[in-house]
Amino acid sequence: MHKFTFITLLLIFNIWFNDTNQKYKKAYFASGCFWCVESIYENLKGVKEVNSGYSGGKTTDPTYRQVMSGRTGHAEAIEVIYNPSEITFKTLVNVFFGSHDPTTLNKQGPDRGTQYRSIAFYENSIEKEIIENSITELLFNKTYYKITTEVLKFKAFYLAEEYHQDYKKKNPYNPYILNVSAPRINKFKIDYSELLK
Protein backbone atom coordinates (compact mmCIF):
# COMPACT_ATOMS: atom_id res chain seq x y z
CA MET A 1 0.00 0.00 0.00
CA HIS A 2 2.77 2.47 0.96
CA LYS A 3 4.75 1.55 -2.15
CA PHE A 4 1.69 2.21 -4.34
CA THR A 5 1.10 5.59 -2.66
CA PHE A 6 4.75 6.59 -3.08
CA ILE A 7 4.75 5.64 -6.77
CA THR A 8 1.48 7.52 -7.33
CA LEU A 9 2.87 10.64 -5.65
CA LEU A 10 6.06 10.36 -7.65
CA LEU A 11 4.09 10.17 -10.91
CA ILE A 12 1.96 13.17 -9.97
CA PHE A 13 5.05 15.21 -9.10
CA ASN A 14 6.74 14.19 -12.36
CA ILE A 15 3.72 15.23 -14.42
CA TRP A 16 3.48 18.56 -12.55
CA PHE A 17 7.22 19.21 -12.89
CA ASN A 18 7.21 18.50 -16.64
CA ASP A 19 4.11 20.64 -17.22
CA THR A 20 5.67 23.52 -15.28
CA ASN A 21 8.96 23.31 -17.19
CA GLN A 22 7.24 23.00 -20.58
CA LYS A 23 5.28 26.16 -19.83
CA TYR A 24 8.45 28.26 -19.91
CA LYS A 25 10.93 29.11 -22.64
CA LYS A 26 14.35 30.74 -22.58
CA ALA A 27 15.75 33.69 -24.50
CA TYR A 28 19.26 35.13 -24.48
CA PHE A 29 20.46 38.70 -24.99
CA ALA A 30 23.62 40.75 -24.52
CA SER A 31 23.30 44.53 -24.33
CA GLY A 32 25.93 45.88 -21.99
CA CYS A 33 26.53 45.32 -18.30
CA PHE A 34 24.36 42.41 -17.14
CA TRP A 35 23.64 44.05 -13.78
CA CYS A 36 21.40 46.49 -15.59
CA VAL A 37 20.00 44.20 -18.27
CA GLU A 38 19.00 41.57 -15.69
CA SER A 39 17.03 44.18 -13.75
CA ILE A 40 15.24 45.41 -16.88
CA TYR A 41 13.93 41.97 -17.84
CA GLU A 42 13.02 41.04 -14.26
CA ASN A 43 10.42 43.83 -14.35
CA LEU A 44 8.49 42.35 -17.28
CA LYS A 45 5.15 40.59 -16.86
CA GLY A 46 5.50 36.97 -17.96
CA VAL A 47 9.17 36.72 -17.02
CA LYS A 48 9.76 34.15 -14.31
CA GLU A 49 13.50 34.54 -13.80
CA VAL A 50 16.57 36.23 -15.26
CA ASN A 51 20.14 34.99 -14.84
CA SER A 52 23.36 36.86 -15.55
CA GLY A 53 26.12 35.06 -17.42
CA TYR A 54 28.33 34.86 -20.46
CA SER A 55 27.62 33.84 -24.04
CA GLY A 56 28.75 34.31 -27.62
CA GLY A 57 32.35 33.16 -27.24
CA LYS A 58 34.48 30.03 -27.36
CA THR A 59 35.89 29.61 -23.83
CA THR A 60 34.13 26.90 -21.82
CA ASP A 61 32.85 27.96 -18.38
CA PRO A 62 34.67 31.33 -18.28
CA THR A 63 35.17 33.46 -15.19
CA TYR A 64 34.29 37.14 -14.93
CA ARG A 65 37.99 38.06 -14.96
CA GLN A 66 38.52 36.03 -18.15
CA VAL A 67 35.54 37.64 -19.89
CA MET A 68 36.68 41.13 -18.86
CA SER A 69 40.04 40.45 -20.55
CA GLY A 70 38.21 40.47 -23.88
CA ARG A 71 39.96 37.29 -24.97
CA THR A 72 37.16 34.72 -24.48
CA GLY A 73 34.87 36.02 -27.21
CA HIS A 74 32.02 36.08 -24.68
CA ALA A 75 29.79 39.02 -23.88
CA GLU A 76 28.01 39.71 -20.63
CA ALA A 77 24.60 38.21 -21.33
CA ILE A 78 21.32 37.30 -19.68
CA GLU A 79 19.11 34.24 -19.75
CA VAL A 80 15.42 35.14 -19.66
CA ILE A 81 13.03 32.41 -18.49
CA TYR A 82 9.57 33.45 -19.65
CA ASN A 83 6.03 32.24 -20.18
CA PRO A 84 5.22 32.61 -23.91
CA SER A 85 1.49 32.70 -23.16
CA GLU A 86 2.09 35.92 -21.17
CA ILE A 87 4.92 37.58 -23.13
CA THR A 88 6.14 36.82 -26.63
CA PHE A 89 9.67 36.46 -27.93
CA LYS A 90 8.94 39.43 -30.21
CA THR A 91 8.13 41.58 -27.17
CA LEU A 92 11.39 40.49 -25.53
CA VAL A 93 13.22 41.51 -28.72
CA ASN A 94 11.41 44.88 -28.76
CA VAL A 95 12.51 45.48 -25.16
CA PHE A 96 16.06 44.47 -26.12
CA PHE A 97 16.28 47.03 -28.94
CA GLY A 98 14.44 49.70 -26.95
CA SER A 99 16.46 49.45 -23.74
CA HIS A 100 20.01 49.89 -25.03
CA ASP A 101 21.91 51.61 -27.82
CA PRO A 102 22.32 49.07 -30.65
CA THR A 103 24.23 51.58 -32.78
CA THR A 104 27.46 51.51 -30.76
CA LEU A 105 30.02 48.84 -31.53
CA ASN A 106 31.50 47.10 -28.48
CA LYS A 107 30.21 49.80 -26.14
CA GLN A 108 27.28 50.63 -23.86
CA GLY A 109 27.42 53.84 -21.85
CA PRO A 110 30.80 54.00 -20.09
CA ASP A 111 31.55 50.31 -20.70
CA ARG A 112 33.83 49.44 -23.59
CA GLY A 113 35.08 46.18 -25.04
CA THR A 114 33.74 43.20 -26.97
CA GLN A 115 32.32 41.85 -23.71
CA TYR A 116 29.76 44.71 -23.82
CA ARG A 117 28.69 44.25 -27.44
CA SER A 118 25.07 43.95 -28.53
CA ILE A 119 23.93 40.41 -29.40
CA ALA A 120 20.46 38.96 -29.99
CA PHE A 121 20.62 35.17 -29.83
CA TYR A 122 18.21 32.83 -31.61
CA GLU A 123 17.56 29.12 -31.13
CA ASN A 124 15.51 28.48 -34.27
CA SER A 125 14.62 30.01 -37.63
CA ILE A 126 11.45 31.67 -36.28
CA GLU A 127 13.38 33.55 -33.59
CA LYS A 128 16.04 34.54 -36.14
CA GLU A 129 13.36 35.92 -38.46
CA ILE A 130 11.77 37.91 -35.60
CA ILE A 131 15.12 39.52 -34.75
CA GLU A 132 16.01 40.26 -38.39
CA ASN A 133 12.54 41.70 -39.09
CA SER A 134 12.87 43.94 -36.02
CA ILE A 135 16.20 45.27 -37.29
CA THR A 136 14.75 45.90 -40.76
CA GLU A 137 11.76 47.73 -39.26
CA LEU A 138 13.90 49.88 -36.94
CA LEU A 139 16.13 50.93 -39.84
CA PHE A 140 13.20 51.51 -42.21
CA ASN A 141 11.42 53.69 -39.61
CA LYS A 142 14.72 55.52 -38.99
CA THR A 143 14.56 54.70 -35.29
CA TYR A 144 18.29 54.03 -35.66
CA TYR A 145 20.53 55.06 -38.56
CA LYS A 146 22.56 51.86 -38.18
CA ILE A 147 22.48 48.76 -35.99
CA THR A 148 25.64 46.96 -34.92
CA THR A 149 23.83 44.16 -33.05
CA GLU A 150 25.10 40.68 -33.85
CA VAL A 151 22.43 38.08 -34.60
CA LEU A 152 23.92 34.81 -33.40
CA LYS A 153 22.79 31.21 -33.19
CA PHE A 154 22.67 30.35 -29.50
CA LYS A 155 25.27 27.78 -28.46
CA ALA A 156 25.86 27.99 -24.73
CA PHE A 157 25.17 30.15 -21.71
CA TYR A 158 27.54 30.08 -18.74
CA LEU A 159 26.09 31.29 -15.46
CA ALA A 160 28.08 34.14 -13.92
CA GLU A 161 29.42 34.00 -10.39
CA GLU A 162 26.83 34.16 -7.60
CA TYR A 163 27.71 37.72 -6.56
CA HIS A 164 26.60 38.97 -10.01
CA GLN A 165 23.09 37.51 -9.67
CA ASP A 166 20.50 40.12 -8.62
CA TYR A 167 23.37 42.58 -8.24
CA LYS A 168 21.20 45.71 -8.37
CA LYS A 169 18.85 44.37 -5.67
CA LYS A 170 21.76 43.42 -3.41
CA ASN A 171 23.79 46.60 -4.06
CA PRO A 172 21.34 49.50 -4.64
CA TYR A 173 23.84 52.14 -3.50
CA ASN A 174 26.76 50.98 -5.61
CA PRO A 175 28.02 54.06 -7.55
CA TYR A 176 27.78 52.23 -10.90
CA ILE A 177 24.19 51.19 -10.14
CA LEU A 178 23.21 54.74 -9.09
CA ASN A 179 24.92 56.54 -11.97
CA VAL A 180 24.66 54.11 -14.90
CA SER A 181 22.13 51.34 -14.29
CA ALA A 182 19.39 53.28 -12.46
CA PRO A 183 18.93 55.96 -15.17
CA ARG A 184 18.79 53.28 -17.88
CA ILE A 185 16.29 51.19 -15.90
CA ASN A 186 14.13 54.23 -15.09
CA LYS A 187 13.99 55.21 -18.76
CA PHE A 188 12.97 51.66 -19.62
CA LYS A 189 10.18 51.75 -17.02
CA ILE A 190 8.80 54.95 -18.54
CA ASP A 191 9.04 53.70 -22.14
CA TYR A 192 7.56 50.24 -21.40
CA SER A 193 5.21 50.94 -18.48
CA GLU A 194 2.47 48.75 -19.99
CA LEU A 195 4.73 45.68 -19.79
CA LEU A 196 5.74 46.04 -16.15
CA LYS A 197 4.72 43.65 -13.37
Q: What's the whole-number average pLDDT of the chain?
A: 91
CATH number at residue 47: 3.30.1060.10
pLDDT digits (tens, 9 = 90+) for 182-196: 999 999 999 999 999
Summarize the confidence of residues 102-120 as an average pLDDT. 96
pLDDT at 6: 54
Q: What percent of the chain has pLDDT over 70?
A: 89
51 within a domain of the structure (yes/no): yes
141 located within any domain = yes
Helices (H), the chain: 2-23, 34-42, 64-68, 89-98, 125-140, 167-170, 175-176, 182-191
Check: CB of residue 116 under 8 Å from CB of residue 75. yes
Look at the chain and report how many structural domains it folds into.
1
Question: Could you tell me if 30 and 48 are in contact, meaning their C-beta atoms sit under 8 angstroms apart?
Answer: no
- The answer as to whether 13 is a domain residue is no
Residue 18 domain flag? no
What range defines the domain where residue 70 resides?
25-195
108, part of any domain: yes
Judge whether residue 13 has pLDDT over 60: no
Give the pLDDT score at 186.
Answer: 93
The predicted pLDDT at position 22 comes to 72
Q: Is residue 6 part of a domain?
A: no
Entry pTM: 0.88
3-state SS assignment for residue 118: strand
Asked whether residue 3 is domain-assigned, the answer is no
Active site residue 36: no
Tell how far CA 107 is from the center of its chain: 17
| pLDDT > 90 fraction of the chain, expressed in percent and rounded | 88
Query: Which of 27, 33, 80, 138 is an active site residue?
Result: 33
Q: What is the pLDDT of residue 128?
A: 98
Segment 125-180, tens digit of pLDDT: 999 999 999 999 999 999 999 999 999 999 999 999 999 999 999 999 999 999 99
Domain-located, residue 93: yes
